[in-house]
Structures are given as structure tokens and as C-alpha cells.
Structure 1
Amino acid sequence: MELNSVKERVTETSVLIVGAGPCGLALACDLARRGVPAVLVEQAPALFPGSRGKGIQPRTREVLDDLGVGDAVREHGGPAPVGMVWQGGERRGEHHMFRVAAPTDAEPYGEPWLMPQWRTQEILLARLRELGGDVAFSTALTGLAQDADGVTAQLGTGPVRASYLVAADGGRSTVRRALGITMTGETVDPVPMLVADVRIAGAALDRHNWHMMNSEAGYLALCPLPGTADFQLVAQYKEGEPDTTPDGVRAVIAERTHLGAQDVTDVLWSSDFRPRAALADRFRDGRVFLAGDAAHVHSPAGGQGLNTSVQDAYNLGWKLGQVLRHGAPAALLDSYEEERRPVAAEVLGLSTRIHRGEQERGAAAQQLGIGYREGPLSTGRAGVLEAGDRAPDGPAGDRRLFDVFRGPHFTLLAVGTDAPLPEFAGQAARVHRTDACEAYGKGLFLIRPDGYVGWAAEDTAGLAEYAARLGLVPDLRRC
């Protein structure tokens, strides 16, 4: 893409985010709470209107809670209903769609949470506005150039100069294509699928179950969406192409279920797609980063796409903040691709296996086991944890550890040890001591802002050298 040669007034910012889906909105919220100037643009005139990414996994619930929207997610979402298998218009039995575990001290969320994607985006946008940010809608990126000092993007509203650009503009990413970054992948299922949000007359279908119907024409499911009066429809087509018109949506429901077309009172949104798995060959080009669907495209099976996308943002946000606000070496940003691309590859494989019936939606789908032990920012081991592990929740006196961690800061956590602790310059890190926590054992743990153990040891030896890589300055004179 060539930039417009006409001289225009250039808007300057630290980070330009392209795409206001869950990934772009989560990143904008994280940067806003860090005081990092950012511009978030979206070429559509409004937020995405459909339910598509409706499953929020336990790990993503922890992320959203840290970003300040945990209460809203609890209020507007709900647990996945038990599946009900139908055959010939009659109920044949229950089918549990997801692994459900009781909450524990270490893992406060034990099950996936359902909430339509449009609601997740509304919640994140409301949070962004609370933090002083917003979205520039109807603003498309038409040109892109970068140099050693930053990125100049041509938008429909004029040029923007940013230190960094993040492409969160979906599977057909304009930014990714402009950079010439290819995606390697496969078709997960050649059978096309229809997804739609519908409303059904109250007496026609109960909202207590996730209704699943199999017929000669193909699979169809109707899932009640918590916090709404809507159902999400998913239908496979063994022959032909999905008809996404309201009449077409009504027709497929009438053909494959005991419902009549007249029972579908509203068709709110509809789309067709072929499940595909693809991974960008790289997640970074100079000062431009790919995140979310711009970097990896998933089958919807298992509810992994939105979750992996939000966690991309969560990983990248604190690193941008440390470089732009706290003087961390720019090399810290190299760790984004080094940490997230292997995770995306692993999750893509999981989604594909679940779609093909080769693996159940078990513990791996909840994403609590994702970590960075082999990553470039993981150093040491203490107690029962190794650097790179997810930092568990647990009791911390009259508080919870997640309450201690909540916010954009690092936390130096001392568990069951009287080892002297340093103070940190500025507000980038806090220190907390607790007598015991079973999920940690005994030791010192430097918890990253994204809730992973970065450094662990029995004493502070090596802490200063490690902290310098992150833009932290510990005062070790008392240690």
C-alpha cells in the first residue's frame, strides 16, 4: 500500500490498534489503564453484531476480571446449559458439552461462561470509555509504511503516526496482507456452516438446554444465549450453500427440527463460513504486531478463538507499556511472538481435534494450563511453581491473591519466607508477603502483569538482573 502523498495533519500516538473486536478492545483497555496513548480504529460503523465467539473460558474470565469487567461478565453471562439430543422431534438424552469443575482456591472459575460476542465487546467498550478511550468507527486503514522510529498509517480520516501498530483486524486482516505475511493452515471441515442469532416463540422451545438435532441434511444446534432472549443457531450443510437470508434461516430450522418457520420470530444476524485452521508465519514485522484472528484462525469448536485473541492482547499490552512508559529495552517486545505463537499453534491443533471428534472439550480447552516455561522471560523455580507457570489464586490474609495482582503492575510475592524484600522505584511493581499458600509452596515469585510467574527463587539473588530486562528497578540495599 502506498501512502497518500498529499500533506495532511498527522495524528500522533504511541500505539495504533486496527480492529475493535474483543482483541483490539482488550488491548486498548490494557493500554489505557497503563497511561499509554492509543488510537483504536474500526472500519465498520459499529461493533460486530453477532454472537459468534460466545464461550469464555476460565482463564479468560481471570483476564477480564483483571481488566475491571469481571462483575459485568458475571451479570450478563451464564454457564453453558446441558445439551439435549433430539431425534425425530423427540428428546433422546442429555449431553454435557464442556468439562465442569468446582471452583478451587487456586482456580476460582471452574467452567466456561457463555455470553454473546457482541455483549463481550459492549462490556469492553464501556470499560474503555471509563478509562478515557474510545473507538473511531467507520475508519479504514488504506496505507501503511514504517521506519526505524515508528509507523505511519493512512486512514480514511487522515494519517496517524505511531510508535507501534497492532493488527487486530480479523482473519482477512488488511494489515497482514499489506505486510505480505502469509498464513499456513488447512480446511478443518469442507462442509459449509451457517451461524445465526434468532428469537423463537416462547412456548416453542425451552431455554434450559442446548438443543442438538441430527438429520440426513446435517447437524443443527440451537443454544440459548444467557442474558438475552436469543438463541445461537449453528447448522452444517452436507449439500449446497447456506442461505443466510431470514427466510433461509427459518427454512433450515423448519426442515431439521420440530419447529415451524413461524416459530422463528426474528433473525437478528446470520453468516456462513467453512471451518479453517491457519497460523500466520510470523506475528511481527518491525514495529507492527499481529494479534487475534489476524494471527490465527480457528474452528469454532471448543471455544478457543476469542479466548486466545484476548490473551494475545493481555500478553502484548504490558510489554508495550513497559517499553513505552517504564524504559524497558525494546527487545522485550520480541518475546510476544516467542511466547504467543507456540500457544496459538497448540490451541489451533486442539480446536481442530475437537471439531473432528478426536478430543473432548476437557481441561485443555479451559486454557488454565497454558504457560511459558520455555519462553524467553521465564527464569527459575521455587516452591511448587516454575517460572512461566500461571500464577494461581489463593488466600492472602483477608484478601485473595488475585486482588493483590489486579491492576497493571508486577507483584513480588513472598510466600512462607522471611527473606528481605526490595522496594521498587515508581508504581510498576508492588511487594506482598503472605505466610503460606499451598498453590505456591515456599519462595519468592515475581508475578507478571498478565498473571504468570516471570522469576522465582528462594532469595533475591539474580532479581536485579532479571528485573532490568523488564524496565523494573528494585532497591536491594536492604536485601
Structure 2
Amino acid sequence: MVGMDTQVLIVGAGPTGLTLALDLARRGVPFRIVDASPAPFAGSRGKGLQPRSMEVFHDLGVIDEVLDSGRFHLKLRACRGREVLREWDVHEDRHPAVDRPYASTMIIPQFRVEQILREALPQPVEHGTPLTAFTQDDTGVTATVGGRTVRAAYLVGCDGGKSFVRKELGVPFRGETHEDMRMLIGDVRVSGLDRDHWYQWGGRPDQWLALCPLPGTDLFQFQSTGDGEPSLELYRRIVRERTGLDDVVLHDATWMSLYRTNIRMADRFRAGRVFLAGDAAHVHSPAGAQGMNTGIQDAYNLGWKLGMETLLDTYEAERKPVAEWLLGMTTAIMRSGKLFENRGDETLQLSLSYRTEEGPGLRAGDRMPDGVTDQGRIFDLLRGPDFVTLDLGDDPVLVRPDGYVAAIGRSAIDAYFGAAPVTQLHHRRVAARAAA
């Protein structure tokens, strides 16, 4: 770090930037995380946390706080006035198992996820500190941050769909904006409803309204089709008209926004020493609750590679196909109109893989499943910033720091370390037997 102010400059303190910061912190990698906003984001925006993201948070040591703050199996309730037309659980048949301890989507407001990550960081986020310019050369990036010059080895743009970093790089953000698909959203206080159901009204798409209780708060997330400048009076009128109920009363709102459906992806996720992650690299329909989660996993893929300063080219090679596939999947859900029907396992993000070969059973590139051994849970044995070889039997399994299988079998593991510029200093071996 000669001549450097920090190793990694993270721009944007949403779930993506905070996950990357926490991963770098446990590796002892110097970083700064800055955000142009004067204070943390106060809205729910994303509220669905997928099982794969919970596995990430297990590894990062914050899963207990996350589980205490969210809720599984919140039932949806479709109504006409007070009449219940239908009640169902999208994840009715999904329950924890040995290999997948987090089996279904959790409802948790984005602001709470961010708070948990911020509180786990060893240093504060620098709010009110915008990035206004940067250049790069062969050895680092020179950035103007909050009016001061900062020199870093790498810069990561986690600064959202309107990313300054992406625009400054000149990276195209290809796709489309659906101006005819708009949604009014917000966090509101409502009386007259219990907090055990995600309520929906509206027999036609243009009359749709949903009120979802946000766990751990006294708020509901307001969602409705419609247009116009968000205001408390507009939201109150929509609630009155679409519920037809005088005793369901919207009292106030802590956050309001008009959402336009964007489906876009950056041409590149890396340009030299500058990387794009989360919404700065890809945005898509909210159908399927994938956005916050995909950004979390972008950060998880990139963190260990920045920590070792190796395999950095594989970030784009691995994450861009995942983002492209997710854009297609969420767009298909949106066009089907079945936003709240039972979903396939792919929406849980447990089946996403970096495989380079096909075949049955566990393969290199797959997510390493959890399990029970005489040394404890596999996820607990993997926890930490290192590669781990699990000697579980005849074929040891080498697991990457992000929980995906690097190689299976002694010869394949030796070949992996021989071919990849990964030092053995980042590797540990665990001998364990499957529990009886």
C-alpha cells in the first residue's frame, strides 16, 4: 500500500457496498466506504431476503441479528373490502433441511438489513461524501471524494442504478425502461389491519393495492399501481378507494417513491481497477425479490478476490451470466402477471452455480450444501475468509471463501492450487466425518 490511502474505495453504502465492506474487514483489507447521501437510506425498497443471502450472512457472522429481525411464511391475503377471497403462503412447502437451513424467502425491510451490516463494521460509513471524479493508472485509482483526493488500489461502484461510477467509466447500460409500468411505494403507518397478513386489493391491475407489514417495525410497505407525485394525500386516497373501508386508515408515511420498471445490464462489470456491483451493474423487475440479493452476492464474489488480489478477471466472468439469467427470469415473472404465486427453487438463488462442466451430483462451481459432521455444521466449519478443504471421505472437497466448490478429489485440488494464483496462506484443512 505504498502511496495508497486505502486498498479499496467502496462507493455506495447500500446492501451491496456494506456486504463488501464487511467481507473486506474480516480479511484485514483496508477500505473506505463513502456515500453521497447525508444519512443512511430510510426506506424499505427491497424487503425479500433469499436463502442464499442468509447463507452469506451466516458466513459473515450476522445471521442471528437478521433472523431476529425478519419473518418467514407471511401469508398473502387477497380481499374485496373485508371479504377474504383467498389466503396462501408462497413458500408453504419449503422448510429447513440439513443441507439448506434457510429454506424460504424472509420478509425484512432493506433499512434493517443495512443497519445490521453497518453495526457490524469496525469503522463508520462516510455519509455526505460524494465521489465527484476519478482516474486510474496501472497501479491504482485517484478519486475526488468529499472534495479531497484519495488514492486507492481499487474502486468499486456500488452506487445504484444511476451510478456515477458507471457513467464516468462510459460503460453502456443496455436495456429498457417500461414507462407504462409504474408503482407507488412507501413505508406507512396504518390502523385497522392485523400484522399477520400481506393484504392485497383490486380486481384489475390498475386498481391493485398491497399493504405488507414490515417485521420489527410499526410500518407497512405500501404498494400500488398508479402514477403521480407521491404524497400522503394521494396514498390516503388510494387506500380509501381501493379498500372501500373507512376503518383502514393511513396515518403517516416515513418514505415514499414512484418506481419505474427498468431492465438493464452494464456491458462490463470491470474496467481496469474499477468494478461495478449491485444495481450499478444490473437492474430488473422487482418480481421475485432478487435485486438486493443479487447485489449482496456480487459483493460476496468480489470480496475474497480483492482480498487476495487474484482471480479478479473471474468476477465478471462469473457474475455477469448470473445477472443476465436473473434479468430474464424476473422479466418472465413480471410478464406472466403471477407475481405472488408459488415460485421455483431458482428464485431462492440456491441453485445458482459457476459450473464449467455438467454432470450429476456435486460439481466444481456448485454451492456447497450444509450438513452435520462430528466436528459440527459444515457452514460453521467453512465460516471465515479462507479456502477450506473438507476431508469428509474418499474425495476431499475444496471450498472457496464464498462457499462454492473449487475442486473435488485430491488430484483436482492439487491442480487447482497449481493453476490458480492462490496462496496456501489462505487455505485450511478440516478433517470431519458425517454424523451418524
Same fold (TM over 0.5): yes
Measure the CA separation in 2 of the matches of 1:181 and 1:464.
Answer: 33
RMSD: 2.2
Comparing 332-341 with 221-230, which one deviates more in the overlay?
A: 221-230
State the match for 1:26 in structure 2. Answer: 19
State the match for 2:433 in structure 1. Answer: none
Letter in 2 for 1:20: A
1:363 paired with 2:345, answer yes
1:42 paired with 2:3, answer no
**Alpha-carbon deviations, 1:101-132, whole Å to 9, x = none?**
1211111111111110000000000011xxx2
Tell me if structure 2 keeps the 8 A contact 1:387–1:455.
Answer: yes
Measure the CA separation in 1 of the matches of 2:244 and 2:229.
Answer: 20
Q: How does 1:156-195 map to 2 (within 5 A)?
A: 156-187=146-177, 190-195=180-185
Letter in 2 for 1:143: A
Measure the CA separation in 1 of the matches of 2:173 and 2:411.
Answer: 44
**Alpha-carbon deviations, 1:241-278, whole Å to 9, x = none?**
23311112111111111344981122111000111211
Measure the CA separation in 1 of the matches of 2:67 and 2:416.
Answer: 40
Q: How far off its partner does 1:219 sit?
A: 1.1
SS at match of 1:143: strand
State the match for 2:69 in structure 1. Answer: 76
Letter in 1 for 2:334: H
Unmatched 5+ stretches in structure 2: 430-436
Tell me if structure 1 keeps the 8 A contact 2:22–2:117.
Answer: yes
Q: How far off its partner does 1:187 sit?
A: 3.3
Letter in 1 for 2:349: Q
State the match for 2:365 in structure 1. Answer: 388
Measure the CA separation in 1 of the matches of 2:128 and 2:93.
Answer: 41
What is the percent sequence identity of the aligned residues? 47
Query: 194, 201, 215: which is aligned to 1:206?
Result: 194
Tell me if structure 1 keeps the 8 A contact 2:136–2:142.
Answer: yes
Comparing 449-458 with 48-57, which one deviates more in the overlay?
A: 449-458
Measure the CA separation in 2 of the matches of 1:98 and 1:105.
Answer: 18
Tell me if structure 2 keeps the 8 A contact 1:18–1:168.
Answer: yes
Relative to structure 1, the CA distance from residue 447 to residue 262 in structure 2 (aligned partners, 3 Å threshold; closer, same or farther) is closer
**Alpha-carbon deviations, 1:179-235, whole Å to 9, x = none?**
11111112357221101101112xx11111110111454211111111111110110
Tell me if structure 2 keeps the 8 A contact 1:99–1:362.
Answer: no
Q: How does 1:29-428 map to 2 (within 5 A)?
A: 29-98=22-91, 100-128=93-121, 132-187=122-177, 190-201=180-191, 204-215=192-203, 217-237=206-226, 241-260=227-246, 263-323=249-309, 328=310, 332-357=311-336, 361-374=343-356, 384-417=361-394
Measure the CA separation in 1 of the matches of 2:181 and 2:412.
Answer: 57
Relative to structure 1, the CA distance from residue 262 to residue 74 in structure 2 (aligned partners, 3 Å threshold; closer, same or farther) is closer
Measure the CA separation in 2 of the matches of 1:219 and 1:464.
Answer: 53
Q: How far off its partner does 1:100 sit?
A: 4.4
Tell me if structure 1 keeps the 8 A contact 2:91–2:105.
Answer: yes
Unmatched 5+ stretches in structure 1: 1-9, 418-442
TM-score by length of 2: 0.92
Relative to structure 1, the CA distance from residue 475 to residue 342 in structure 2 (aligned partners, 3 Å threshold; closer, same or farther) is closer
Tell me if structure 1 keeps the 8 A contact 2:12–2:157.
Answer: yes
State the match for 1:6 in structure 2. Answer: none
Q: How far off its partner does 1:88 sit?
A: 4.2
Relative to structure 1, the CA distance from residue 102 to residue 189 in structure 2 (aligned partners, 3 Å threshold; closer, same or farther) is farther
Measure the CA separation in 2 of the matches of 1:122 and 1:284.
Answer: 28
Tell me if structure 2 keeps the 8 A contact 1:444–1:458.
Answer: yes
TM-score by length of 1: 0.84
Number of residues of Structure 1 aligned to a counterpart in Structure 2: 422
State the match for 1:14 in structure 2. Answer: 7
SS at match of 2:78: strand
Tell me if structure 2 keeps the 8 A contact 1:186–1:277.
Answer: yes
Measure the CA separation in 2 of the matches of 1:348 and 1:310.
Answer: 16
Tell me if structure 2 keeps the 8 A contact 1:18–1:167.
Answer: yes
Tell me if structure 2 keeps the 8 A contact 1:100–1:111.
Answer: no
**Alpha-carbon deviations, 1:20-54, whole Å to 9, x = none?**
00000000000010000000000001111101110
SS at match of 1:289: strand
Tell me if structure 2 keeps the 8 A contact 1:215–1:256.
Answer: no
State the match for 1:451 in structure 2. Answer: 403
SS at match of 1:274: strand
Q: How far off its partner does 1:301 sit?
A: 1.2
SS at match of 1:232: strand
Q: How far off its partner does 1:77 sit?
A: 0.8
Measure the CA separation in 1 of the matches of 2:194 and 2:289.
Answer: 23
Q: How far off its partner does 1:80 sit?
A: 4.0
Tell me if structure 2 keeps the 8 A contact 1:447–1:454.
Answer: yes
Q: How far off its partner does 1:154 sit?
A: 0.6
Tell me if structure 1 keeps the 8 A contact 2:407–2:416.
Answer: no
Tell me if structure 2 keeps the 8 A contact 1:188–1:299.
Answer: no
Letter in 2 for 1:344: A
State the match for 1:472 in structure 2. Answer: 424
Measure the CA separation in 2 of the matches of 1:291 and 1:154.
Answer: 20
**Alpha-carbon deviations, 1:390-426, whole Å to 9, x = none?**
0010011141000000111110112223xxxxxxxxx
Measure the CA separation in 2 of the matches of 1:102 and 1:400.
Answer: 18
Measure the CA separation in 2 of the matches of 1:335 and 1:193.
Answer: 36
Comparing 243-252 with 115-124, which one deviates more in the overlay?
A: 243-252
Measure the CA separation in 2 of the matches of 1:385 and 1:262.
Answer: 51
Letter in 2 for 1:336: Y
